[in-house]
Amino acid sequence: MLLSTSLECFLRTMEYPATRDDLTREAKRDGLDAADQNMLATLADQSYSACWDVTNALGARIRHERSLIAA
């Protein structure tokens, strides 16, 4: 999966648990670029327990989108 360096750093320093709204709010406050903010906004509306939880969810989303493109 290809996450930007700034998004990876943001996710590592974020306090967990965090909801999608927490993540998008803090990403905006921290000045992450629009593409990273939009990626976080695509997450399911739930609580994420750790960085790996968010990373796995984003990876699943990206894999799903790639499978749709390949079809």
pLDDT in the model for residue 71: 67
pLDDT in the model for residue 11: 98
Q: What is the DSSP string of 6-24?
A: HHHHHHHHS-SSEEHHHHH
pLDDT in the model for residue 68: 77
As to burial, measured by CB atoms within 10 angstroms (0-12 exposed, 13-18 middle, 19+ buried), residue 26 is middle
Q: Mind listing the pLDDT tens digit of every residue in the chain (71 residues)?
A: 578 999 999 999 999 999 999 999 999 999 999 999 999 999 999 999 999 999 999 988 777 677 778 76
Task: Give this prediction's pTM.
Answer: 0.86
pLDDT in the model for residue 1: 55
